[in-house]
Amino acid sequence: MRPTFSIVISKMNIFAVTLLLFTVANVFQSSESMELNCKFQIYGYFISIPIGWKIFYTCYGELSNERNSTIITEVHGDHLSGRNNSDVTGIILEKETLLTSIPLNFDKFFPNINILYMVDTKTSTIRASQLLQFPNLMYLLLSYNEIETIEVNAFSSTPSLQGIHLNSNKIKSIPYNAFRPLHLEVLQMNNNICINDSADTVQNVNRLIVVADLLCSPLGDMIDEDLRVRIYELSNSQVAFEYSLKDLRDQVSTMEERMQELENILKLVKTHVNK
Ligand SMILES: *[C@@H]1O[C@H](CO)[C@@H](O)[C@H](O)[C@H]1NC(C)=O
Ligand SMILES: *[C@@H]1O[C@H](CO)[C@@H](O)[C@H](O)[C@H]1NC(C)=O
Ligand SMILES: *[C@@H]1O[C@H](CO)[C@@H](O)[C@H](O)[C@H]1NC(C)=O
């Protein structure tokens, strides 16, 4: 009888040790992992008045095991019939209030993402390393987050971007030429700290980028509220003003030249204001 009992004990020990190891491994892993639970649906997204609605087969996602990790390790959810992960072109994430950045690893599951809609998170920066996973991205809809700045070259790996929404964030600075590699048709930046304006035609986007280069640069702090208002007015109404700025922009390359350019823009603005 004893041996049998002893075998039982030792089996229980092995079981207990295995369970312990399993639990430790799981706790360890989940601090570095995140699961994405998808409701797969066809969603319409309103991009802008000229563009209207766009339709994408979408993962409406909810994150679980969400701590402060940023890496998606598993994706769950039932596809609409006849579809699989390769057909997914859109991602929606809402109210993930613990999320402090765009999660990574989407491309391991969904290689063909065209649109990312993420609102009500604590994301504070747009980084090149986060956008690298979306080489086919057309629309980046990130209104109502806590974005303060955009990394230099953030958009260098997303050449197909046509629309960016950044309304109601906390943008304080934007690096010079951050939007320059893109051909945007829509750029919405209402209700931010250094900028409060939107554009939904190519021409207006170019105008808005010039204004943002000025207001969201280190020179932005020197511009008082009156001047700020005049800059918006002028940039909206004066084609000549816009072309002068564009000429200036095209001539710069070094940091000194850039600062010089911004000072010239400011002088030009003041000249217009005094007229
Ligand atoms: C998660 O938070 C802990 C403490 O709050 C920190 O030590 C750790 O570096 C964070 N991990 C990540 C991936 O941010
Ligand atoms: C998804 O479906 C397509 C056909 O519709 C197929 O070619 C492809 O291999 C499938 N991909 C996966 C990941 O199953
Ligand atoms: C942006 O402008 C609108 C009016 O044009 C104003 O109501 C709003 O308070 C402004 N937002 C900020 C953050 O200044």
Domain assignment present for residue 82? The answer is: yes
Domain assignment present for residue 10? The answer is: no
- Of 2-11, 63-72, 181-190, 205-214, the one with minimum mean pLDDT is 2-11
Domain end marker among 195, 223, 251: 223
Domain assignment present for residue 154? The answer is: yes
Q: Same domain, yes or no, for 171 and 238?
A: no
Domain end marker among 198, 223, 248: 223
Which residue owns the Cα nearest ligand 3 atom 10?
191
Which residue owns the Cα nearest ligand 1 atom 14?
68
| pLDDT of amino acid 233 | 73
Distance CA 193, CA 111 (A): 34
| pLDDT of amino acid 228 | 76
Q: Same domain, yes or no, for 144 and 157?
A: yes
- Greatest CA separation for the chain: 106
> 274: CA distance to ligand 3 center in Å?
25
191 Cβ inside 6 Å of ligand 3: yes
Q: Same domain, yes or no, for 200 and 100?
A: yes
Whether residue 190 is predicted with pLDDT greater than 90 in this model: the reply is yes
Structural domain boundaries, residue 153: 32-223
Domain assignment present for residue 97? The answer is: yes
Domain assignment present for residue 27? The answer is: no
H or E element that contains 149 = strand 149-150
Q: Same domain, yes or no, for 211 and 235?
A: no
| pLDDT of amino acid 267 | 72
Closest CA relative to residue 75, chosen from 62, 66, 87: 62
Q: Same domain, yes or no, for 46 and 94?
A: yes
Question: Would you place residue 240 in the very low, low, confident or very high pLDDT band (cuts 50, 70, 90)?
Answer: low
Which residue owns the Cα nearest ligand 1 atom 3?
68
Domain assignment present for residue 6? The answer is: no
Is the separation of the CB atoms in 237 and 216 below 8 Å?
Answer: no
Q: Which ligand is nearest to the CA of 101?
A: 1
| Nearest-atom index, ligand 1, CA of 69 | 13
Question: Would you place residue 210 in the very low, low, confident or very high pLDDT band (cuts 50, 70, 90)?
Answer: confident
User: What is the number of structural domains in the chain?
Assistant: 2
Domain assignment present for residue 14? The answer is: no
Whether residue 45 is predicted with pLDDT greater than 90 in this model: the reply is yes
> 165: CA distance to ligand 1 center in Å?
29
Is the separation of the CB atoms in 192 and 169 below 8 Å?
Answer: yes
Domain assignment present for residue 80? The answer is: yes
69 Cβ inside 6 Å of ligand 1: yes
| pLDDT of amino acid 221 | 75
Q: Same domain, yes or no, for 190 and 265?
A: no
Q: Which ligand is nearest to the CA of 109?
A: 2
Q: Same domain, yes or no, for 205 and 238?
A: no
Q: Same domain, yes or no, for 189 and 213?
A: yes
| Nearest-atom index, ligand 3, CA of 196 | 1
What is the tens place of the pLDDT at every residue in 74-120?
Answer: 999 999 999 999 999 999 999 888 889 999 999 999 999 999 999 99
86 Cβ inside 6 Å of ligand 2: yes
More confident residue, 233 or 175: 175
What is the tens place of the pLDDT at every residue in 5-30?
Answer: 333 334 444 444 444 444 444 444 44
| pLDDT of amino acid 101 | 93
| Nearest-atom index, ligand 1, CA of 32 | 13
Mean pLDDT of the chain: 82
85 Cβ inside 6 Å of ligand 2: yes
Q: Same domain, yes or no, for 212 and 244?
A: no
Q: Same domain, yes or no, for 200 and 245?
A: no
CATH number of the domain at 81, please. Answer: 3.80.10.10
Is residue 222 exposed (0-12), middle (13-18) or buried (19+ Cβ within 10 Å)? exposed
- Pocket test residue of 27, 30, 68, 70 for ligand 1, highest count of atoms within 8 A of CB: 68
Q: Same domain, yes or no, for 116 and 203?
A: yes
Q: Same domain, yes or no, for 57 and 102?
A: yes
| Nearest-atom index, ligand 2, CA of 87 | 1
